[in-house]
Amino acid sequence: MDEAKKSNIALIGGRGSGKTTVAQALGARLHHPVLVFDEMIEQKAGQSISSLVKVYGWPYFRELEYRVLQEAATSGNAVWDCGGGIVCEQDEFGRQSLSLRKVSILRNFSLVIFLDTPVLVQQQRLAADSGGRPPITSADLVVEVQKVMALRHPWYRQACHVHLKTEGKAVDQIVREIQTLLKGPDMTREHDPVTEQWRSLVSEAPSGATVCAVIGDPVEHSVSPAMHTAGYRSLGLKYYFGRLRVTSSELARSMAAVRSLTIRGVSVTLPHKVAVMQYLDEIDPVAQQIGAVNTIVNTSGHLKGYNTDWEGAMRSVEEVASIAGKTVVMIGAGGAARGVGYGFLQRLAGRLIILNRSEEKAKALAGELGAQWGGLDQLERSLGQADILFQTTSVGMHPDILETIVPQEFLHPGLVVVEAVFNPLETRLIREAKAAGCKVSLGYRMLLYQGVRQFELYTGVEKAPVEAMDKALVETLKNR
C-alpha cells in the first residue's frame, strides 16, 4: 500500500455513532475531502437509499456499497464517512454476515477508526433524526439498535486499526485524539503472518511485475510456476508466478491478502478447490455447476473463480479422438472426476459410465451427471463396449508406479486411454495401453491445457504459447 492510500481515514460504527459529524470536522481540520459513502451510493443509484432498498433489496445495496468502497480505495488524503453496514453483507431477507472483501479493502487502504458510541446515545440520536434510512430489522428503533450493535460490534472491532470510545467526548476532543494518533507510528501495517507470507512472495517478483501464484497444501511439488513462467518469457510479459503453501485455516486470510496486495491470479490445488469458493465475489457458472474452483482472477479487488480442469481434460482427449456420440468409461468419482464428467457431457458424449471402488460415490456422481454407474467389477464388460477410457484416480502415481487399476487384458485396439496421473510421465496403464494398440493421452496433457487456459485468463492473451509451456512442463517433470 502506497503512502497516499495510507493517508485515508475511514470512520466506522453504528448508525447514530457520530461518524458524519466527526468526519466533517476532521476533514476541515486536516483540509481533506470527505467521502460520504451513503451519498455516493445515492448518486450512483439515482435514488434515495430508502427507495433503493425497497425496490432492489439489501443485497443490491451492499453491492453498490462495495463498488463505492473500491472507488474510494483509489483516493488519497480523504476522510471516509462509512455507512453503518460497511463491515457486513446482507441477503434478500436482511440476514447479515461479516464481509471479508470490504474489511480487506478498509484495512489495506485506510486507517480504520471505530467510533464506539453507547447504544443509548445512538438510540437518542436516531430518534431525533432517522435521516429517512430504511429499517434494518422489523423491531422498533430501540430494539433494532440493540440487535444490530450486538451483531456488528465484534465486526467493527475486527475491522478497525483504532478502537476509539466516544462516550462523554465532544466532537472537537474526538478530532484532537485522531490528530494525535496520526502523528504516532503507522498502525495500518498488517502483522498477520499469512499476509506477511504473501508480502514476501510479492517481494520476490521483479519490480513492477504482475504477480500470480499457486496455492495448496502441500504445494512444493507444483510444476505450475515453471509452466507459466515459460509462457511469460515466450511472450515477453512482465509477470511473476510463485508458489505458497496455504493451510485450510489460512485460506480466508490468504484471499484477503490476494485482494489487498493486488495478486492478479491464483491457481488453486488440493485441498482448497471447494473451500475457497466461499471467499470469492463471483463464481463462473461452469465452476458453480462443477462445484470446484481451480483458478481465481483478481480484477481491482473483485475475485472471480473459474474451473479450467474440465477444459484441460477435454483438450487432452480431443488431441487423440473425437468425443461426440462416443461411449466413455470414467474410472473414479472424486473431485477430478466431477469436472471430467461435466466436460464429456458438454462435448456430447453418447454414453458416460462411471465406475468406482465405492459404488455409492459412483451412484451419487452419476445421479448428478445423468450417467450410468457401477463398481470396478463391471470394468471388463464396460470396456468391451467403450470408445474412450478416462482414468481420474491417483492409482499409479509416484511412488506407487507399478500399480494400475485396469488389467492389461481388458484393453483392446481402438480404445482411447486417457490418464490423469502425470508423475511419472508414463504410468503403467499408459505403457500397457500402448502395448495393446490403444491410442493414449498422457496425464500431463490435462495439466498443460488447464494451465494454458489459466494463463489466458490471468494475462488477457487470446492464445497462450502452448509449445513453450509444454516444453517447460515436460522438462520439469523429467527432472524430478
Q: Which helix (H) or strand (E) holds 466?
A: helix 466-478
The verdict on 118 and 265 lying in the same domain is no
Q: Is residue 312 part of a domain?
A: no
The verdict on 259 and 387 lying in the same domain is no
Q: Is residue 315 part of a domain?
A: no
Q: Is residue 313 part of a domain?
A: no
Provide the domain limits for residue 434.
Answer: 320-441
| Confidence (pTM) | 0.65
Options 273, 304, 326, 478, the catalytic residue: 273
The verdict on 57 and 201 lying in the same domain is no
Cα(291)–Cα(278) distance, rounded to whole angstroms? 11
- Is residue 139 very low, low, confident or very high in pLDDT (cuts 50, 70, 90)? low
Cα(415)–Cα(436) distance, rounded to whole angstroms? 9
Cα(307)–Cα(454) distance, rounded to whole angstroms? 9
- Measured at the CA of 19, the angle between CA 13 and CA 20, to 5 degrees, comes to 145
Residue-wise pLDDT tens digits, 222-262: 999 999 999 999 999 999 999 999 999 999 889 888 987 88
Domain at 28, CATH number: 3.40.50.300
Q: Please, are residues 275 and 247 in contact by the beta-carbon 8 Å criterion? A: no
The verdict on 289 and 407 lying in the same domain is no
Amino acid symbol at 43: Q
Q: Which has the higher per-residue pLDDT, 138 or 347?
A: 347
Residue-wise pLDDT tens digits, 325-338: 999 999 999 878 99
Q: Is residue 115 part of a domain?
A: yes
Q: Which has the higher per-residue pLDDT, 183 or 458?
A: 458
Residue ranges of the alpha helices (H) in 31-99? Answer: 37-45, 49-56, 58-72
DSSP 315: H
Residue-wise pLDDT tens digits, 295-330: 999 998 889 999 999 999 999 999 999 999 999 999
44 included as an active-site residue:
no
Kindly tell me the burial class for residue 88, based on how many C-beta atoms sit within 10 Å of its own C-beta (0-12, 13-18, 19 or more): buried
Domain at 424, CATH number: 3.40.50.720
pLDDT > 60? residue 189: no
CA 422 to chain centre: 26
pLDDT at 1: 40
The verdict on 266 and 340 lying in the same domain is no
pLDDT at 131: 53
What average pLDDT does range 430-438 have in this prediction? 97
The verdict on 51 and 141 lying in the same domain is yes
Residue-wise pLDDT tens digits, 71-106: 998 888 899 999 999 999 887 777 888 898 899 899
pLDDT > 50? residue 212: yes
The verdict on 303 and 336 lying in the same domain is no
Which residues, at least 6 apart from 203, have a Cβ–Cβ distance to it below 8 Å? none
Of 183, 204, 228, which residue constitutes the final position of a domain? Answer: 183
Only one residue has cell 524430478, namely 480
The verdict on 136 and 85 lying in the same domain is yes
Of 183, 201, 229, which residue constitutes the final position of a domain? Answer: 183
The verdict on 80 and 7 lying in the same domain is yes
Only one residue has cell 491478502, namely 257
Q: Please, are residues 256 and 159 in contact by the beta-carbon 8 Å criterion? A: no
pLDDT at 363: 96
Q: Which has the higher per-residue pLDDT, 462 or 100?
A: 462
Cα(174)–Cα(167) distance, rounded to whole angstroms? 10
The verdict on 100 and 80 lying in the same domain is yes
First to last CA, the chain: 39
Q: Is residue 188 part of a domain?
A: no
The verdict on 271 and 237 lying in the same domain is yes
Domain at 470, CATH number: 3.40.50.10860
The verdict on 265 and 160 lying in the same domain is no
Only one residue has cell 507470507, namely 197
Q: Is residue 314 part of a domain?
A: no
pLDDT at 158: 85
How many structural domains compose the chain?
3
Of 183, 214, 230, which residue constitutes the final position of a domain? Answer: 183
pLDDT > 50? residue 434: yes
Which residues, at least 6 apart from 264, have a Cβ–Cβ distance to it below 8 Å? 210, 211, 212, 239, 297, 298, 458
